[in-house]
Amino acid sequence: MTNTLSPSVAQSQEPATPIVIVGHVDHGKSTLIGRLLHDTDNLQDGKVAQIIASSKKRGLKVEWSFLLDSLQIERDQGVTVDSTRIPFLLNKREFVIVDAPGHRQFLRNMITGAADAEAAVLVVDAAEGAREQTRRHAMLLHLIGIRHVIVLLNKVDLLDFDQAKIEAAEKSVSELLTKLDLEAALFIPASARDGDNIASRSDRMPWYSGPTLTEALAQVPSPASRAELPLRLPVQDVYRFDDKRYVAGRIERGRVRVGDTVIIGTQKTPAKISSIASWHTAPQISAAAGQSVAVTLEPDVIPDRGDLLHKSETPPVAASRIRTRLFWLRQEPLRVGESFHLRLATAEHAVTVTSIDSVVNLDDLQKYAGEEVPAEGFAEITLSASETILFDPFVPGTADGRGVLVDRQQRIVGGAPLLGPAAIADGEKVIHPTGSTVTTQDRTRAKGHRGGVFWLTGLSGSGKSTLARATEAALFADGVDVTVLDGDTLRAGLCKDLGFSEADRTENVRRAAEVARILRDAGQVVLVALISPLLSDRALARQILGEEFAEIFVDADLATCEQRDPKGLYAAARSGKISGFTGIDAPYEAPVSPALHLKTSAGSVESETKTLASFIKDTVRLSGALKARS
């Protein structure tokens, strides 16, 4: 809560109604926010005096935009001011203005759901009319599904409050919104600087009979009551206390009561809610959307993080091909075939762009077929996943239907509100991976350890294969189900069609990661021994394998590896018999922060094997002892 606003804010019990104020730069957003807060008595007296004093110093009439600047100053001074969310009270009802410092941060806030909004005020300079950011912001409102749009035709004093000129401005903006399937709830002619039609009716536009902005805001529907929607409880994590397992998460939609039977989405397993707890409160009989809870289930089945609890009669959509809208943040264009992670509620799914269905021309806002989505462009695309994704098409007022695309370096590259399952193109081969009825937990209990992938990377001759095999033997003796995937072995079979070009090495890594994932999901500990020289390829492996991926740097300097040269390949590379040899005339990029760094130039195989085996057991072991083999 900012200390700028009067203490009366947030007295209301109703959830705040989030609104966004958007529009082209210099069309008056900041002035409007300052004026709105002042004219609705949401500013402490000191702040008003501060703004008036700052304005006078500059020979200005009151410059309301200084309010946001002062919020910026408070933020810069480290005062915990979150100027991206500015609460204010309007006739005992709480609103929150979702603003953002800067255009790109605003776009990011909007697409990542940081700025969930129920309504929008689109500020347009009536004299200038719609400009580039007007169109971009209006497009964004369409993209994230905000239906309640109030257009504030600002700075009408520059048009001498002339009705004909103002109505002409209204007409041009109305045509823009129509192209975007956006219908403005209404148009309000105003002057934010002077306060006309903001919180009080203007006496300079007697011809205008519509509401002031504050009257219009009072008509905005309060956040759709998500509690009336079908239950959706995404699993954040599973905790164990006093021999009980608690499934924790925030209820996104619907309600849950003790005694309800829920379905664990991906496992399709029914379970009964036997208790509901939430932080700092006594156990509850029920909980509703917006509440973070920890529930216990009967039987004591354990969902994976990212799974979804729902009722059997109202299941989510299940599909591995999904149509989404897209706001593309990356500065490079998006093309078909690119892979990302789709973050959806608490789940992350590896997805590939299988088609770009339409791209929006921001100039005329028409949709056209396109081969790529330009930087900061809008489009509709189809994503395909190697697994079934449970989701609900995005609706305003909810956050769980809005996906976020993340690249291999974990950067947010786009916002993707989900539209629905994608139709199958004629003749298209669509796969539907089957889920196992044997759960991860069944396997873990049977083996006494979890599955996991330990990815050994290093130069040729650094000791990957030697350590992988020695560690495999040690772990097996200790009762661990373990498998090695060695580069040479893969290249003799599964990857025998691959060479050592960058593209082939990427494909080699991808295949190894997919095989490792299948083995890990079957409860195996998998030791992958691959040079896998590039950071981007190892990031691809991490994307495919998710968090349970430990990078092990098998570190021997080039001189040591050349000296060892167990297969004579360094000599062959030096003599030019083979080219593109890693370390000689092909790059190796060392891990930046490996989970384990083994320096094998001077170490001993035995000591490194012991270190690696111990690290792996600590990572995959459960509370009980492993079942050592005689």
Q: Which residues are annotated as a binding site?
A: 458-465
- The residue (of 254 and 461) whose beta carbon lies closer to ligand ADP is 461
- The residue (of 123 and 554) whose beta carbon lies closer to ligand ADP is 554
Shortest distance, CB of residue 619 to ligand ADP, whole angstroms?
A: 21
Residues 429-448 that bind ligand ADP (CB under 6 A): none
Size of the site for ligand ADP (CB under 6 A): 18
β-pairing, 452-457 with 402-406?
unpaired
- The residue (of 604 and 630) whose beta carbon lies closer to ligand ADP is 604
Per CB under 6 A, 403 contacts ligand PPS: no
Q: Which of 114, 258, 515, 578 binds ligand PPS (CB under 6 A)?
A: 578
Distances (CA, A) of 537 to 59, 505, 541: 59, 8, 6
Per CB under 6 A, 471 contacts ligand ADP: no
Distances (CA, A) of 392 to 315, 322, 350, 395: 9, 11, 18, 8
Q: Which two tokens stand for residue 39?
A: 């004219």
Binding site residue list for ATP: 458-465
Per CB under 6 A, 527 contacts ligand PPS: no
Per CB under 6 A, 555 contacts ligand ADP: no
Per CB under 6 A, 14 contacts ligand PPS: no
Q: Which of 491, 511, 574, 599 binds ligand PPS (CB under 6 A)?
A: 491
Question: What's the rounded Cα separation, in Å, for the pair 502 and 71?
Answer: 50
- The residue (of 68 and 598) whose beta carbon lies closer to ligand ADP is 598
Residue range at the interface with ligand PPS (CB under 6 A); choices 47-55, 104-112, 139-147, 530-538: 530-538
Please say whether the beta carbons of 11 and 90 come within 8 A: no
Report which of 493, 476, 489 is spatially closest to residue 528, judged by C-alpha positions: 489
Where are the extended beta strands (E) located within 213-304? 233-234, 237-241, 244-250, 255-257, 261-264, 269-277, 286-288, 292-298
Q: Residue 587 phi/psi, 5° resolution?
A: -75, 155
Sheet of 148-154, strands arranged across: 85-90, 93-98, 17-23, 119-125, 148-154, 184-189
Selection from ligand ADP, ligand PPS, none that 466 binds (CB < 5 to 8 A by kind) is: ligand ADP
Per CB under 6 A, 574 contacts ligand PPS: no
Selection from ligand ADP, ligand PPS, none that 149 binds (CB < 5 to 8 A by kind) is: none
Residue range at the interface with ligand PPS (CB under 6 A); choices 73-81, 143-151, 400-408, 502-510: 502-510
Question: What's the rounded Cα separation, in Å, for the pair 415 and 113?
Answer: 9
- The residue (of 476 and 500) whose beta carbon lies closer to ligand PPS is 500
Residue range at the interface with ligand PPS (CB under 6 A); choices 24-32, 160-168, 315-323, 528-536: 528-536
Residues 480-539 that bind ligand ADP (CB under 6 A): 529
Per CB under 6 A, 581 contacts ligand PPS: yes
Shortest distance, CB of residue 511 to ligand PPS, whole angstroms?
A: 10
Active site residues: 532
Question: What's the rounded Cα separation, in Å, for the pair 46 and 43?
Answer: 8
- The residue (of 581 and 615) whose beta carbon lies closer to ligand PPS is 581
- The residue (of 31 and 466) whose beta carbon lies closer to ligand ADP is 466
Distances (CA, A) of 157 to 160, 161, 202, 300, 484: 5, 5, 11, 68, 75
Query: Interface mask (CB under 6 A) for ligand ADP, residues 571-610, using x and -?
Result: -----------------------------x--xxx--x--
Per CB under 6 A, 531 contacts ligand PPS: yes
Would you give the distance in Å from CA 8 to the centre of its chain? 34
Size of the site for ligand PPS (CB under 6 A): 22
Q: Which of 308, 319, 383, 530 binds ligand PPS (CB under 6 A)?
A: 530
Per CB under 6 A, 465 contacts ligand PPS: yes
Q: Which of 240, 268, 272, 567 binds ligand PPS (CB under 6 A)?
A: 567
Per CB under 6 A, 505 contacts ligand PPS: yes
Shortest distance, CB of residue 568 to ligand ADP, whole angstroms?
A: 12
Report which of 177, 45, 199, 20 is spatially closest to residue 111, judged by C-alpha positions: 20
Per CB under 6 A, 456 contacts ligand PPS: no
Query: Interface mask (CB under 6 A) for ligand ADP, residues 312-331, using x and -?
Result: --------------------
Residues 377-396 that bind ligand PPS (CB under 6 A): none
Q: Could you give the angle at the alpha carbon of 31 between the alpha carbons of 30 and 37, nearest 5°? A: 90
Per CB under 6 A, 500 contacts ligand PPS: yes
Residues 6+ apart with CB under 8 A from 122: 22, 23, 134, 137, 138, 141, 149, 150, 151, 152, 173, 184
> Which residues lie across from 612 on neighbouring strands?
none
Per CB under 6 A, 15 contacts ligand ADP: no
Per CB under 6 A, 31 contacts ligand ADP: no
Q: Which two tokens stand for residue 577?
A: 């018999």
- 238: how many CB neighbours lie within 10 A of its CB? 18
Exposure b/e, 588-619, CB count within 10 A at least 16 = b: beebeebebebebeebeeeebbebbbebbbeb
Selection from ligand ADP, ligand PPS, none that 569 binds (CB < 5 to 8 A by kind) is: ligand PPS
- The residue (of 374 and 461) whose beta carbon lies closer to ligand PPS is 461
Per CB under 6 A, 465 contacts ligand ADP: yes
Per CB under 6 A, 324 contacts ligand PPS: no
Per CB under 6 A, 479 contacts ligand PPS: no
Per CB under 6 A, 86 contacts ligand PPS: no
Distances (CA, A) of 272 to 257, 261, 263, 312, 494: 10, 4, 9, 12, 44
Per CB under 6 A, 42 contacts ligand ADP: no
Please say whether the beta carbons of 382 and 371 come within 8 A: no
Helix (H) or strand (E) holding 564: helix 558-564
Would you give the distance in Å from CA 602 to the centre of its chain? 44
The residue behind tokens 């105003």 is 190
Per CB under 6 A, 466 contacts ligand ADP: yes
Question: What's the rounded Cα separation, in Å, for the pair 537 and 548?
Answer: 16
Per CB under 6 A, 114 contacts ligand PPS: no
Per CB under 6 A, 508 contacts ligand PPS: yes
Question: What's the rounded Cα separation, in Å, for the pair 218 and 240?
Answer: 46
β-pairing, 452-457 with 525-529?
parallel
| Coarse DSSP helix, strand, coil percentages of the chain, rounded to the nearest 5 percent | 30, 30, 45
Please say whether the beta carbons of 139 and 111 come within 8 A: no
User: Rule CB under 6 A: which residues touch ligand PPS?
Assistant: 460-461, 464-465, 487-488, 491, 500, 505, 508-509, 530-533, 567, 569, 578, 580-582, 586
User: Rule CB under 6 A: which residues touch ligand ADP?
Assistant: 458, 460-467, 529, 554, 564, 566, 600, 603-605, 608
